[in-house]
Amino acid sequence: MEKKEKNFSSKQSQILQDKYTDLSSNIPILFEKHFVISNVQQDTQTYVLPEAGSMFTEPAWQLNKLQEIKRDLNEVKGRLNNFNLSKWQQHTNRKNEAGEIVSMVRENIQAELVTQAWCKFYEVASNFSLVPLNEIYHEVDGKNFKSVHLCEAPGAFVTALNHWLKTNAPDVQWNWLATTLNPYCEGNSYDGMVADDRFIRHTLKHWCFGADNTGDIMDLKNLDTLVKKSESLDGKGRILLVTADGSIDCTNMPGEQESTVAQLHLCETVACLHLLQKGGNFLLKLFTLFEHQSVCLMYLLSCAFQQVSVTKPASSKGGNSEMYVVCMNFKGKDYIAPYLCTLKYYYGNVPPVNAMFNLRDIPDGFLWRIEQCCKFFKFHQCRIIEDNIKTFHKRDNFYKRLSTSVIKRMIGIKYLKDYRLRKIDPANEIVGREIIEKNNNQFMNKKLHVDSYNERCKSQDLEPQERLLQAWNNAKEIEWPSEKFYVWHLQALPETLNIQTGKLFNKICSSRFCDSKIMQILDKIDNVMQDMHITVCFPPAEITTEFVQQIDPSYEILSFQFVQNYDSHRIIAEIYDRLEKLESEKTLVLIGYSLLTQLNIGLLYLLGNSFNNIIVEIHDNEGYRLKLENYRRNEKVLEYLEEILVASHNACKQNMAVWSIIPITVLYGKIHEYIHEEKKILFLSILITYFAQL
């Protein structure tokens, strides 16, 4: 019996050793996915930009060899079309050999805002000397520099850079500026932006959301504002680092990810060329390099920088197409200046029809390097995808799970060791890890689509009623609170208003005061309504009429439209007009008043100082009513409302609107959490009203 047990144990050990040997052989490869595109010091040929007048004059072109590589990759990716997205992500997370890196950095280093993006940046910064210390140490006014970060939410590149500097160059003085789609712009959709503001809310003075406050880097006016703000950025030193981590959700068009994001990448690059100073570096996230837009962009970068490399960080999931272009030692604005006017002309949301460069102006040697780069990264990506497909329906045995766990641990340890990660003094953090982790985290992007790509495609062909049924099924998954009556106790008047204006929007696509999933359901319903050319009145006109007939005749009533055709100016004007004329002790009832926007919540914040109570009553057939009891005339409130109305008039003349009147940080601290207590019942009752009318 003892001999059998010994033999069995020996067999176990051998199986485990074989699995371990097989998996561990991939570790070096994981950390060595780098490809040099151009290097002035090593290349025999120097790449030169053609005349600016020849740019964007030739029709779009394709390279057959690159298209062949694209077809091969898409064939492999196409095998995923029937996989449930949620289950596939769970599987690939289990299989991801580098899956322990983020958790090990959090556990061992306890750094600030550690995410996958944090780890990717730190890895690239360590592998490529991304921070140009040679330039910084030769600054005439000391060891100073500045950085600008494009498409930066939630801010992990910034916190990773801070950590890298504190451990690798503690004597360097650094300041930074960032831009991203504004998470406080209710006209920005969840699909387009990163809504996580745990870091942003504490560092708002470092963020520039542009001329229209949306943070859209693809708007030329916003670029101009960013450049101006970067020039007035506090501190000494030049802008010697620009990063761009932007992307667009391509879940529903995975085969054309590159073309979908091409114009964004052009805008990011043009922004960098306006911001960066001679000797500086640029980090740009790209995906594949099969189309003329990417080939031309890479050629532009290879001409403007002394060295250009492409890397796939170990901390980036191996099965996706994400990679980073590392551009070192910018030749300077004098070199690129003749081309900036042309590049700005094609800047924006609409891609140019023609290719940036004539194909004959790009050397064959450069095209060969691009082809080899595409083959290199396609090979590694396909290997991961095919292995994930092969193992999707298989259950790992004990030995496989154990050996995989050991390998993940080894990779995490290698990451910590190779990049010399160590803790920093909490006093050197920007905001503080503990502060960020305490903040509400519910705005991490939550996607509704968890079915397969093929199923999502089929759903687009469904009849409107079937699509509405899908939305209703999504709504039923949200837990219902039980309370239907609330009393708000709002805070004292602020000493001054903080009126913020921004781009005019008529549709509320996101909200800091509502669960993002509910907002996405409302958006789905609204899209169906538009397709059917139907306008749903909320609250329904007959319900409002019935309510008016039943209400206490001494009450004043003010009705609005919820969600549909949001009109901030009308809201401001009608509240000011009604309050200015309201008699003392009167009760004002608001019907259909949206609680989704900072402006509307801010107005309630003010109104709380003119009434004894604000009561929220839930009614399934109309959503909710706001009953403001016992009016007390407050001249300061009326002065504030008049000031807001004037600001709104001025904004309208510029096709802008008042977005907020109380800082979001104040709303968070005072009433944000309270509003979230009843948000589900409020907005689910709205969903019921929508469906009841169809």
Q: Is the dihedral of CA 479, 484, 489, 493 positive or negative?
A: positive
pLDDT at 361 over 80: yes
Neighbours of 313 (CB within 10 A): 24
Dist. CA 100–CA 107, nearest whole Å: 10
Q: Is the peptide bond before 154 cis (omega within 30 degrees of 0)?
A: yes
What pLDDT is recorded for position 646? 97
| Model pTM score | 0.89
Instruction: Give the residue ranges of the annotated binding site for S-adenosyl-L-methionine.
Output: 155, 174, 245
Identify any residues that bridge with 625 across adjacent strands, giving them in sequence order: 591, 617
Mean pLDDT lowest among 308-317, 482-491, 526-535? 482-491
Please report where in the chains the tokens 């805070």 appear, as a residue. 491
Q: pLDDT category, 1, cuts 50, 70, 90?
A: very low
- What the block records as the tokens of 323 is 């990679």
What pLDDT is recorded for position 446? 54
Identify any residues that bridge with 242 across adjacent strands, giving them in sequence order: 148, 282
- What the block records as the tokens of 357 is 């460069």
Q: pLDDT category, 141, cuts 50, 70, 90?
A: confident
| Region 617-635 average pLDDT | 82
pLDDT digits (tens, 9 = 90+) for 442-466: 555 455 555 665 666 666 667 777 7
**What share of the chain in percent tops pLDDT 90?**
56
pLDDT digits (tens, 9 = 90+) for 393-421: 877 655 566 667 888 999 999 999 999 99
- Tell me which of 3.10.20.30, 3.30.70.980, 2.40.50.140, 3.40.50.12760 is the CATH number of domain 33-351+369-428: 3.40.50.12760
What pLDDT is recorded for position 442? 56
Q: What long-range pairs does 476-484 form, CB within 8 A, spacing at least 24?
A: 478/515, 478/517, 478/518, 478/680, 478/684, 479/680, 480/680, 480/681, 480/684, 481/677, 481/678, 481/680, 481/681, 483/618, 483/678, 483/681, 484/617, 484/618, 484/681
- What the block records as the tokens of 278 is 């001679």
| Region 307-313 average pLDDT | 97
| Region 523-533 average pLDDT | 78
pLDDT digits (tens, 9 = 90+) for 5-19: 334 355 544 544 554
Q: pLDDT category, 340, cuts 50, 70, 90?
A: very high
pLDDT at 148 over 90: yes
What pLDDT is recorded for position 372? 97
Please work out, in degrees rounded to the nearest 5, the angle formed at the alpha carbon of residue 332 by the alpha carbons of 331 and 338.
Answer: 105
What pLDDT is recorded for position 521? 81
| Region 118-139 average pLDDT | 95
pLDDT digits (tens, 9 = 90+) for 386-396: 998 998 887 76
pLDDT at 306 over 50: yes
pLDDT digits (tens, 9 = 90+) for 247-287: 887 566 666 778 889 999 999 999 999 999 999 999 999 99
Q: List Cα–Cα distances, 42 to 46, 307, 366, 369, 375, in angstroms.
A: 10, 9, 14, 14, 22
Domain edges within the chain: 1-29, 33-351+369-428, 462-693
Q: Which of 285, 408, 627, 679 is catalytic?
A: 285
Pairing of strands 34-39, 323-330: unpaired
Residue 330 burial class via C-beta count within 10 angstroms: exposed 0-12, middle 13-18, buried 19 and up: buried
To the query of whether residue 285 is one of the catalytic residues in this protein, the response is yes
Q: Which residue, 645, 623, 639, 638, is CA-closest to 690?
A: 623
Instruction: Give the residue ranges of the annotated binding site.
Output: 155, 174, 245
Q: How many CA atoms lie within 13 A of 314 on its CB side?
A: 28
